[in-house]
Structure 1
């Protein structure tokens, strides 16, 4: 483009110098005419033509030289103005070569660099831009296809929007000298412009800090704590809770409103969120420390919603976060910002509720859903265990009581449920299509078909995840803590993390769903087996409702001897468990990490048994046993209450309970997962009970 402009400019100057030639042609023509008409006058014109030609020749030579000199002087003067303009421009500007070395910069860039302590201003030329701006390197510069890029960098204490443009130019020797290039170097340059946006960022940050955050607060065990102290002390306990929450609200300049005896709403500015995260929501500890003779510690849950565009959405996010906190057992704060959840606290075990009102209400609602449906499809989690299958059998019993056909989805029968599965198939009381695969279940689906998911609340862990997309009505029964990716929009959700097992919850539902509940012995055995396996023979996580459910099942025909038959291992599995226990390594003094051999029928079950066994060793506070199943690494985690393995497993994409948890990690090796597990353990030790 520059060459075309230069050619056009030269042609215009050339035309200017051709005008005298045109005059000479006219005079020559007139001289010839006069010689023809009148000879004497023609001679006179010839003399004039000679004089004019001589004068024109000398004037052309002197004028051309003078004019070109003036043009060059003007061009040089104008180029100097441009250069001076760029040097004095307040916008920092720098030119880089293909290696990202600085070839030229203006005074504003010198001033910018001069504010940085680690940069010698006198040696800017030839420095790599990465030495000045560590976050900017050669790979970030635009390609010829991109043309230019725009990014924001922090330089010193200020923020700059940097526009980098790609240029390929042709220059003469003087221009090459200007940017310190040689003719042998590739004439590919990058020019960078630095726009100071510190003020805009400051205003943006101030605007974000002033946005409202909605927090919903719920006292988890309000009734239970009040019932544990004398009547005269109850007002004092309530006053202490209100006082601590008011002090907390005042500290963060928030507005606290109590709208129920155990529920509050708090509105504060977003700028205090970082402080709350740093002190790990210490209000949870302050509320828990309230003690005036109460047998139970007071625990609270907090759901915090952050939405930059809508106050209404912030409150809705807060409600969703609170539901998640309660679903995870309470005594924690959950922050929901857009699609991301953050968890803080969760130090204590979920407190068992003595009231049966919730279970009765859920049972009535579940009964109505079954009565309105034409069929019930029941689905548990992948690699089913006795709690999952036992709960599914219990739901089948509910459907049978209400005269509705039902099917249980199982794709692969694991060794842990093989005995129960075989007995159910061989029992004449059940139809041949009692068990179906996920694909077969799709053919049974109609508009009013009901899907019941048991012992799992995470879609990716269900036996056949695609089934969830086919149903409008989904019911969830689970005793695991709710994860950040729960099943969306169930018509009924009954998730109680304090329950020992899903079989315990289903048993309680059975007691209220009909006045005359009659179970088949194998159904009672299946539910009893689920409770037994998840409580480790009624040792872990048992409560009053656990034993009441077991007593009900015993009256319904459950037999302990038959149930024990579900738990028998073959010799290979027993040896694999012994190998995992023998070969464990101790990490951080109290953590046992081991690997279960994968050449047994059900490695994940054996790994879980080995993890339980490792806890019987003195000084072991938590155990983690890994197994490799078809390229997916399964982790079984167990602990005593002092270590929350659920939080550790969540760091690896899993979940569970405070003392019983697990994770599934696909496309990884055993060694790689062990490294990640150790990192998660280190982070847990450093951060405490926070995720």
Structure 2
């Protein structure tokens, strides 16, 4: 337009005219006489001034809208923003106030007065700051009147001011197609019977085939109910394929096949439990199968009786209520022992480490591995950092002339001396972040793991040999079996047998928790090697202040939801608050009706939680929701809450949520 004028200049000129009139009226107001005709002039001037002031205020507030209206009146702008555009289209200011809408937009919001004026009324997820941050264009997603839209907002510079265009793209059909496509993706899964051999031995021989057939039928009906296919690979292993939408349905009912299969009883003393591993999310089917195998390893490593769903970036757990079944056969222990020996024979140095704040079980297991390596003429060291006060007396006994000076070594020295021919052995832990040397794990080429804790989503992935048995009472029990199978030449000294026996005693709470036949067999072996029960018992006698703190924690315990004891332990006068905390949690289980106990203590600006249970509740799954982990009956977590009361609130919230969902 050749004679196009600056809109802002015109508006300013109009405003200046009103200001001139305002000044003129002010002069009249002050010089007009107060009586007769002068009073009329005075009132006229007064109301004229009020009108001009109000008019200017309204004009300043709606200046952006006036400018848009003026711009829309021009021929060139009208061609750009055609009223006949099929897409809902509008103009607004930076506050989200809509100044102009085309017909399609009007048709969309015709029954919604608020949405005609304000974009935030349509899409509450779009804030004023979101609009102000736009420099060119930005896309947002929202839902309006049951339809899903992509909201494209573009910033334009018109007549020396910024205005924002809004264009709505209806993506409802597209999103439904995407969801449908996602739901049709194949999901690969594996089903293993955890205790097939043990269950079959518990039933009469003539009825074993019937028990197997009933279990097979349950599994086949379950997968067929999802319109999937299932194939039996071995006597206790199945492979299946379902669609993603069916997986969502199985997750909604939390894989009820896990509980349903336990109802099969034809006289078998032991109920069958299943482990399910599922992988999905990759376009490559072979990769989904690999994810399923990894998920199955995770399920078995956590004790079985659960389903694990794994993608490339996420992992979810379901079930895990049953007590882990002890394996009577030692074949696996013997195989692992021989594999461990082969690894040792090809290495020149062995570095042994446990978890942070080394406890008695980790230390005893480390000593057992050290003796194995030394007997095979390998240079071995134990990585030593902070030690739990309960284990310090035992550790000090190894700092004598009877043992080499470099038995214990610091992380700095290890990192400078480790080579490709070095072997790192991790005991009593399988989470890299809480080991004594996380950096060492990244640098080491050869890693062996011996642990009895259930695995979480964080595991040592680059282990050359991994031996994780969740039914074992302790790492010392596992290493005791390894010692017996690896060589007949290995002889434990009395002090070493004491350390390993003490580890079993602590982790089993004097053989009361997680104790099986193999636990007593390991203890008997250590007794033959010279372990002294009385000597170990004297070592763990309690300090008077610790005993009083534990008694106070038990006295102040709160019973939550009828079955859960929650308390706190004073850390001011105790040498080892975390140990006293754990002991109090153990003692609270002696109260009738208590299924699980949780004792909290503040230590080094961190709130520690000790969780214990008998056999009805899996405290590991509870602690995992708080960022911790552990064993089915012995677990813990560390929180960075402002106070113990805040931490208690979190524990109660997790318990209530899991109770409502039927997870505990």
The alpha-carbon distance between structure 1 residues 169 and 80, as it changes in their structure 2 partners (threshold 3 A), is closer
Q: Does 1:538 align with 2:511?
A: yes
Q: Does 1:357 align with 2:331?
A: yes
Structure 2 contact 550–580 (Cα < 8 Å) conserved: yes
Question: Equivalent residue for 1:430?
Answer: 403
Q: Deviations over 1:388-424 (max 9, x none)?
A: 1111111111112212121111111221111100111
- TM (norm. structure 2) is 0.86
Q: Within 5 Å, which residues of 2 pair with 1:429-468? A: 429-468=402-441
Structure 1 contact 142–165 (Cα < 8 Å) conserved: no
Query: RMSD value over aligned CA atoms?
Result: 2.1
Question: Equivalent residue for 2:124?
Answer: 134
Q: Does 1:472 align with 2:469?
A: no
Q: Distance in 1 between matches of 2:466 and 2:149?
A: 50
- Which SS does the other structure have where 2:94 is aligned? coil
Question: Equivalent residue for 1:149?
Answer: 138
Question: Equivalent residue for 1:289?
Answer: 263
Q: Deviations over 1:362-385 (max 9, x none)?
A: 000011111111111110011121
From 494, 501, 505, give the equivalent of 2:467: 494
The alpha-carbon distance between structure 1 residues 405 and 565, as it changes in their structure 2 partners (threshold 3 A), is farther
Paired residues in the alignment total: 598
- Which SS does the other structure have where 2:597 is aligned? strand
From 634, 638, 644, give the equivalent of 2:612: 638
The alpha-carbon distance between structure 1 residues 435 and 90, as it changes in their structure 2 partners (threshold 3 A), is same
Q: Distance in 1 between matches of 2:341 and 2:308?
A: 32
Q: Within 5 Å, which residues of 2 pair with 1:160-239? A: 160-170=149-159, 187-239=161-213
The alpha-carbon distance between structure 1 residues 3 and 678, as it changes in their structure 2 partners (threshold 3 A), is farther
Question: Equivalent residue for 1:86?
Answer: 82
The alpha-carbon distance between structure 1 residues 76 and 478, as it changes in their structure 2 partners (threshold 3 A), is closer
The alpha-carbon distance between structure 1 residues 553 and 193, as it changes in their structure 2 partners (threshold 3 A), is same
Structure 1 contact 644–689 (Cα < 8 Å) conserved: no
1:206 CA displacement: 1.7
Q: Does 1:564 align with 2:565?
A: no
Q: Does 1:414 align with 2:405?
A: no
1:665 CA displacement: 2.6
Q: Does 1:302 align with 2:276?
A: yes
Q: Does 1:97 align with 2:93?
A: yes
1:168 CA displacement: 4.3
- Which SS does the other structure have where 1:646 is aligned? helix
Question: Equivalent residue for 1:613?
Answer: 587
Structure 1 contact 327–495 (Cα < 8 Å) conserved: yes
1:6 CA displacement: 7.1
Question: Equivalent residue for 1:51?
Answer: none
Q: Deviations over 1:570-593 (max 9, x none)?
A: 222222222222222222222222
The alpha-carbon distance between structure 1 residues 170 and 466, as it changes in their structure 2 partners (threshold 3 A), is same
Question: Equivalent residue for 1:550?
Answer: 523
Q: Distance in 2 between matches of 1:276 and 1:355?
A: 34
Q: Distance in 1 between matches of 2:449 and 2:258?
A: 29
Structure 2 contact 359–387 (Cα < 8 Å) conserved: no
Q: Distance in 2 between matches of 1:443 and 1:425?
A: 23
Q: Does 1:574 align with 2:565?
A: no
The alpha-carbon distance between structure 1 residues 134 and 509, as it changes in their structure 2 partners (threshold 3 A), is same
Deviates more, 1:459-468 or 1:503-512: 459-468
- Which SS does the other structure have where 2:648 is aligned? helix
Q: Distance in 1 between matches of 2:273 and 2:656?
A: 27
Structure 2 contact 232–238 (Cα < 8 Å) conserved: yes
Give 5+ residue unaligned stretches, structure 1: 8-74, 115-119, 172-186
Q: Distance in 1 between matches of 2:547 and 2:460?
A: 36
Deviates more, 1:472-481 or 1:391-400: 391-400
Q: Does 1:481 align with 2:454?
A: yes
Structure 1 contact 211–308 (Cα < 8 Å) conserved: no
- TM (norm. structure 1) is 0.83
The alpha-carbon distance between structure 1 residues 393 and 668, as it changes in their structure 2 partners (threshold 3 A), is farther
Q: Deviations over 1:535-569 (max 9, x none)?
A: 11111111110111111111111100111123122
The alpha-carbon distance between structure 1 residues 401 and 104, as it changes in their structure 2 partners (threshold 3 A), is same
- Which SS does the other structure have where 1:95 is aligned? strand
